[in-house]
Structure 1
Amino acid sequence: MILVTGGLGMIGAHTARALVDLRQDVLVTAHHRTDVPSFLAGKVTVESLDVTDRDAFLDLGNRHDISDIVHLAGTIPGDDPVRFFRTDTTGLLNALDAARTWGVRRFAVASSLGAYVGRTEARWHEELALPTVELPHPIIAFKKAVEPLTTHSLQGSGVQPVVLRIGSTWGPLMDPESPFNPIPPYVSAVLRGEEPNPLYADDGGDS
């Protein structure tokens, strides 16, 4: 069984759906969100979990035979960046602790294409060195830090780390007012009969 933390969120639900389509048994966890999308109803096992609760996290392994972890759970920064970093780092470390304790095969974790900020190439690829630059958002800063935390935490454990440098998630589950991707708000404005904010090639991304 594959565990997807944050599996009812936007990216998590996309991921769970893809795994179900591959005929995998999927366990999704959710903390604040409880509504299960219709395309996942009856197809995944759902557990309520606060990933910052280490004991509750590890207890999942007593109830389910978990072979792999996809850690996508996260929070949105508020006015206190330290609280955001503490919360999401605690969740990550608990997930890594579970991976080592359970001896899973792979541990996949959400990074971000924002890790490449500062590279001027027209096409990014995995072999590029990540630059040391000022990052535009706390989420991107955390996701970039996730990479060495994950790879070093799993050294010598036999668990394969998989870093997911996620960009835009497309399709009907995309946040229609996403602050990170200008295309869904553009389409949403058109559907409301409003004039959308213009998109320019020089803005970056693949708009």
Structure 2
Amino acid sequence: MIGAHTARALVDLRQDVLVTAHHRTDVPSFLAGKVTVESLDVTDRDAFLDLGNRHDISDIVHLAGTIPGDDPVRFFRTDTTGLLNALDAARTWGVRRFAVASSLGAYVGRTEARWHEELALPTVELPHPIIAFKKAVEPLTTHSLQGSGVQPVVLRIGSTWGPLMDPESPFNPIPPYVSAVLRGEEPNPLYADDGGDS
């Protein structure tokens, strides 16, 4: 969902957009005929780098990620490999900017009512492996790109919603809750410790 809306925003800015997808290569109707789609397993370094042989790539927006299963090490290995391959591609191709998805969860542990980029990020227990990975993405990205000429852009993304949101997503329970109420249905209960508010 975030990727499709990001692609649309770039198309609206008259950018040529290459979208990569691993499992699903179908595109929403609002992107049909406006983007190029390539199937890519981001953990395959050679396949990732080969994109640069077929396309003129000037910037990268890396939003790829997986959903953790029972093995957190496997999750971290998969997503870290994808990140490092994307960073390798950015440096190899000499792109201008490399934007990467982090999370507002990076601020977990701060007590201020207003978060901003100058706040130190505390070392605290995090409520979910995705938030832990996204917090680690920030120094991995900025340090990997130092001296490369590639500008790192860290996107601390908060809750998302919209027409492409998975209604079963555990990461943003509020829109389905409100939708159920509007339909006159009993919404699923919300729990303080389910991570939906982080």
Coarse TM-score class (shorter-chain normalised): over 0.9
Q: 1:29-83: CA deviations, max 9, x gaps?
A: 0001122100011000000000000000000000000000000011000000000
The alignment's C-alpha RMSD in Å is 2.3
8 Å contact from structure 2 (residues 87, 145) kept in 1: yes
Structure 2: 5+ residue runs without aligned partners?
A: none
CA 1:59–1:135: 2 relative to 1, 3 Å: same
How far, CA to CA, are the matches of 1:41 and 1:60 in structure 2? 21
What is the SS of the residue equivalent to 2:31? Answer: coil
Deviations 1:116-169, CA, capped at 9 Å, x for gaps: 000011111111110010000000000000000000000000000000000122
| Aligned residues of 2:108 and 2:126 also touching (Cα < 8 A) | yes
Identity %, equivalent residues: 100
**Maintained 8 Å contact 1:177/1:184:** no
Q: Is the 8 A contact 1:115 1:143 kept in 2?
A: yes
- TM-score w.r.t. the length of structure 1 is 0.89
The TM-score normalised by the length of structure 2 is 0.93
Query: Counterpart of 2:157 in 1: which secondary structure?
Result: coil
Does the Cα contact within 8 Å between 1:178 and 1:185 map onto a contact in 2?
A: no
Offset at residue 203 of structure 1 (A): 10
**3-state secondary structure, aligned to 1:42:** coil
**Aligned-pair CA distance for 1:202:** 12
Q: After the TM superposition, which segments of 4 or more aligned residues of structure 1 sit over 6 Å from their partners?
A: 198-207
Give the secondary-structure state (helix, strand or coil) at the position aligned to 1:111: strand
Q: Which runs of 5+ in 1 are unaligned?
A: 1-9
Q: Which deviations, in whole Å up to 9, do the C-alpha atoms of 1:63-117 show, x marking residues without a partner?
A: 0000000000110000000000000000000000000000000000000000000
Measure the CA separation in 1 of the matches of 2:50 and 2:195.
Answer: 44
